[in-house]
A and B are shown apart, each in its own frame.
Chain A
Amino acid sequence: MRIVAITVAGLLALAVAGASAQGVNDAQIAHIVVTANQVDIDAGKLAASKGSHAEVKKFGQQMVTDHTGVNKQASELATKLKVKPEDNPTSQSLKEGGQKTMVRLKGLSGAEFDKAYIENEVNYHQAVLDAVDKTLIPGASNAELKALLAKVRPAFVAHLEHAKKIQGSLAK
């Protein structure tokens, strides 16, 4: 399952590196933010229902709640700024990577599922943080969009730390 997680993180890294080279506009950044959150919401929903360890289920539910909250705020800002989120290759890669992860996770159960989901969460949040720091925040031209990204960044760090903590306890 290590391969699955690395694949998703790798896809995101490649997609964002490509986006960085081409440059992304605010409409595309808004779309990437919403897509990245949605991918984690979908995985979280699956973990909340299919997870075996109580901490894994709880973490999955929290990812649904937190990333839904971030998406609501991002969508409200896009509406306020009259920015229509624009689909782009990075969003498409994220979506495809997310779908592949879902298919593989659905094929697992019990402790195997828990391990694979949490490993994916660790890698995914690390990859999202890299994208936020290297591409999305530097690329955002609107000050409010940039501020929103900076404001939600610490939540992704907290999720990463939380996922690592659960990963450590699952390994025991």
Chain B
Amino acid sequence: MPRRSRGRWPSRPRLTAVAVGLGALLGVLGPGATAPSPVTHTVVVEATSFEPATLTVRAGDAVVWANRDPFPHTATSKAFDSSVIPADASWTYTTRARGTFDYVCTLHPTMKGTLRVE
């Protein structure tokens, strides 16, 4: 009996492989192809600067400002304002409107960054 069943049906690992393959195919051809899932980007805030200073993301992506300095900073623009991000803390902004947003740290006027939302 075991022999017969092997002949009629693909073995379990093969079925799994087919399922995985189909899933991958759907993933490539499905809605993901036109609208990729949102991505999370990180801007490191360290040595009183934003790194990278210019970041380009897609609308819907999240941007995390991670403060690695021993004192607070802000990421402030016309579109968004983190308010105070304490030392070793972070702030997340989920982008919505498209455009180019210049931002600053209101506490340290030398700190400038640009967020491009496409």
Contact = CB atoms under 8 A, between A and B. Distances in A.
Interface of A: 62, 65-66, 68-70, 72-73, 150-155, 157-159, 161-162, 165
A69 B110 contact: no
Given A69-B87, A151-B47, A157 B110 contact: yes
A154 B109 contact: no
Contacts of B110: 154, 157-158, 161
Interface stretch (B15-23, B26-34, B54-62, B67-75): B67-75
A154 B107 contact: no
Contacts of B46: 151
Contacts, number: 47
A62 B108 CA distance: 10
Contacts of A153: 47
Given A69-B87, A162-B108, A165-B109, A155 B69 contact: yes
Nearest to A147: B47
B71 A65 contact: yes
Contacts of A68: 71
Chain A binding surface SS class: helix
B111 interface: yes
B90 interface: no
Contacts of A69: 69-71, 87
B95 interface: no
B49 A70 contact: no
B76 interface: no
Nearest 10 pairs between A and B by C-beta? A69-B70, A69-B71, A158-B108, A154-B48, A66-B71, A158-B110, A73-B70, A155-B48, A151-B47, A158-B48
